[in-house]
């Protein structure tokens, strides 16, 4: 018997042609409309990292959510636009039939030793083991994670506007799948829309472009296993139907694993 | 006699085919290697905004610097991967001959009125008129801007390491060209590499991927004319040859015009 995990099921891809892989949506990853953006980012990254021409590790990924992916198969077309000695630039596009649903660019790179420093500091947070898990429950995919909110949980039915858009939470995979680059890419989209918190209510909102910078190298990821990751996000400006979010993902040991940014549409 | 400005010269494009425009490098915009990344971002954005199918205003732009653009002509291939009712997703690629030099995705969108708030605050800074202009002078393009450093000027020959990577400066176009979206896109790359400041020295470094979120609408830009913009940037983590930078651009009146992020390679 082969043990499977919903994350691996959702990013499983088969090669159907030169530079084309096929995947399919999984009901457990359903969001409000279409799948969780994080799982789509993970599938795009997996498509690239499993390409035979790929060099190095993920350094940057931008995913543009052009239209909802409908239930069923999707194809990802990908190509290395440029391969240099130490980095490689990818372009990828996810389609269903003739319809482009997601576009992406990614940068893979060889890392080398040298001067290093982490200038940002992690938010202060109590140990995750002492915080009860919460499933925001608005959409299906959140049950696949073990979330421990430190600050800014999702507002309930009696929610009130908050002056701060900051949410900080510990997250790990509910099935204790170990953290790899696709899983880290997905975690970067773990946050419910910041406008919910500011407005104290659920309003129509969705990520339209997501950019992630991966700071953790493979060895650092391997060392984390399936432990909690401390995720913190805030918005800078909400205006005329859009806002931006910036976020950081930290290991329990204080390693900045990724910084990630997105622009989100909202109504109301 | 037609008055021209080096910025307009550098982003002048002619249509040479369906979805293909041609531009050329301008010596005044020379950087260490190839042109200033900001002017390339501006040309990519201009190519899209002048495309007959374009709808709305720029909302997000990601530009990947795959290889240095050599002096001379370049072609930008662009297409709308998806046009929705209120937004449009673009893919663009800048090539010289068969060589891909720059890739980009962009999101244009119609803005609509609704709830708004700016949660970030501008850095405190004295009035620009009381600060003497400084040209860092390391590369040619900086003379095209009027820069007034508030914090974190570029280290000189006797530079010392700094514990902070923050630079804050007022910038306006030296020829007082008015601020439009391409000019704002260029300003997002105005900062010299944060590693110079931390190390107190000039080391090899270059932006490899730049993402900008445009918060200012057309009317807000029009109201700025050619006034100073307050630009502030910091890095989060430097590790194994790469660091990330996050920055904000503010109007003198306290409007957050853009938030922008990049990943940069460095040596040493």
- Nearest residue to B129 via CA among B37, B239, B240, B230: B230
The CA distance from A231 to the nearest CA of chain B, in Å, is 15
Is-contact B145 B171, C-beta < 8 A? yes
Please give the pLDDT value at position A25.
98
Please give the pLDDT value at position A268.
80
Of A89, A116, A239, nearest to B64 by CB-CB distance is A89
Domain holding A107, by residue range, is 6-111+133-266
ipTM of the complex: 0.97
Residue B161 lies in a domain: yes
Residue A90 lies in a domain: yes
Q: Return the H-helix or E-strand segment holding B49.
A: helix B37-49
Q: DSSP character for B38?
A: H
Please give the pLDDT value at position B2.
58
Put simply, whether A166 touches B (Cβ < 8 Å) is no
Of A62, A89, A237, nearest to B211 by CB-CB distance is A62
Under an 8 A CB cutoff, do B89 and A100 touch? yes
The Cα–Cα gap between A107 and B206 comes to 14
Instruction: Name the band, by pLDDT with cuts 50, 70 and 90, for residue A239.
Output: very high
Residue A77 lies in a domain: yes
The Cα–Cα gap between A87 and A89 comes to 7
**Residues making up chain B, counted from first to last:** 268
Please give the pLDDT value at position A9.
96
- Count contacts between A and B (CB, < 8 Å): 210
- Alpha-carbon distances of A40 from A3, A49, A158, B37, rounded to whole Å: 22, 14, 32, 29
pLDDT digits (tens, 9 = 90+) for A205-225: 999 999 999 999 999 999 999
Is-contact A90 A243, C-beta < 8 A? no
Under an 8 A CB cutoff, do B103 and A103 touch? no
The Cα–Cα gap between A14 and A32 comes to 27
Put simply, whether A83 touches B (Cβ < 8 Å) is no
Average pLDDT on A54-61 reads: 98
The Cα–Cα gap between B123 and B246 comes to 14
Query: Which residue carries 């990614």 as its tokens?
Result: A106
Percentage, residues of chain B above pLDDT 90:
95
Residue A150 has pLDDT above 60, yes or no: yes
Report CA B122 to chain centroid distance, whole Å.
19
pLDDT digits (tens, 9 = 90+) for A70-104: 999 999 999 999 999 999 999 999 999 999 999 99
Residues of chain B under the 50 pLDDT cut: none
Percentage, residues of chain A above pLDDT 90:
95
Residue A10 lies in a domain: yes
- Nearest residue to A199 via CA among A146, A232, A243, A136: A243
Of B62, B242, B266, nearest to A105 by CB-CB distance is B62
Query: Which of A48, A215, A218, A254 best probes binding to B when mutated, by most B CB atoms within 10 angstroms?
Result: A215
Contacts for B244 with CB less than 8 Å, ≥ 6 apart: A213, A215, A259, B235, B236, B237, B261, B262, B263, B264
Please give the pLDDT value at position B4.
81
pLDDT digits (tens, 9 = 90+) for B33-43: 999 999 999 99
The Cα–Cα gap between B192 and B179 comes to 21
The Cα–Cα gap between A245 and A238 comes to 10
Please give the pLDDT value at position A3.
60
Put simply, whether A77 touches B (Cβ < 8 Å) is no
Going along B165-216, which residue ranges are E strands? 167-173, 205-214
Please give the pLDDT value at position A4.
81
pLDDT digits (tens, 9 = 90+) for B140-171: 999 999 999 999 999 998 999 999 999 999 99
Instruction: Name the band, by pLDDT with cuts 50, 70 and 90, for residue A113.
Output: very high
CATH of the domain at A22: 2.40.160.210
Query: Which of A244, A267, A268 best probes binding to B when mutated, by most B CB atoms within 10 angstroms?
Result: A244
Put simply, whether A45 touches B (Cβ < 8 Å) is no
Under an 8 A CB cutoff, do B119 and A87 touch? no
Please give the pLDDT value at position B268.
80
Residue A116 lies in a domain: no
The Cα–Cα gap between A250 and A70 comes to 33
What is the value of pTM for the model shown? Answer: 0.98
Put simply, whether A67 touches B (Cβ < 8 Å) is yes
The Cα–Cα gap between A23 and A73 comes to 6
The CA distance from B115 to the nearest CA of chain A, in Å, is 6
| B-chain residues near A234 (CB < 8 A) | 119
Residue A126 lies in a domain: no
Looking at every residue in chain A, the average pLDDT score rounds to 97
Number of domains in chain B: 1
């Amino acid at each position: 018997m082969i043990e499977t995990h919903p994350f691996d099921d959702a990013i499983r891809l088969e090669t159907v042609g030169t530079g084309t892989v096929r995947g399919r949506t999984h009901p457990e990853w359903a969001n409000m409309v279409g799948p969780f953006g994080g799982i789509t980012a993970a599938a795009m990254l997996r498509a690239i990292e499993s390409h035979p021409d790929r060099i190095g590790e993920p350094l940057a990924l931008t995913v543009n959510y052009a239209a909802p992916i409908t239930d069923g198969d999707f194809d990802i077309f990908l190509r290395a636009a440029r391969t240099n000695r130490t980095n490689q630039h990818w372009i990828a596009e996810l389609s269903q039939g003739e319809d482009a649903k997601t576009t992406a660019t990614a940068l893979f790179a060889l890392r080398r030793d040298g001067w290093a420093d982490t200038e940002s500091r992690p938010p202060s947070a109590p140990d995750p083991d002492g915080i009860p898990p919460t499933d925001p429950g608005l959409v299906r995919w959140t049950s696949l994670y073990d979330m421990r909110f430190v600050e800014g949980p999702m507002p309930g039915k009696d929610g009130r506007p908050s002056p701060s858009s900051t949410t900080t939470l510990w997250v790990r995979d509910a099935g204790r799948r170990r953290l790899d680059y696709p899983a880290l890419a997905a975690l970067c989209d773990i946050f419910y829309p910041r406008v919910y918190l500011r407005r104290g209510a659920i309003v129509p909102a969705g990520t339209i472009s997501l950019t992630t910078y991966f700071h953790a190298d493979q060895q650092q990821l391997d060392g984390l296993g399936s432990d909690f990751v401390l995720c913190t996000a805030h918005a800078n400006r909400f205006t005329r139907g859009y806002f931006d979010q910036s976020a950081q993902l930290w290991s329990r040991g204080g390693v900045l694993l990724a910084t990630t940014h997105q622009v989100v549409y909202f109504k109301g």
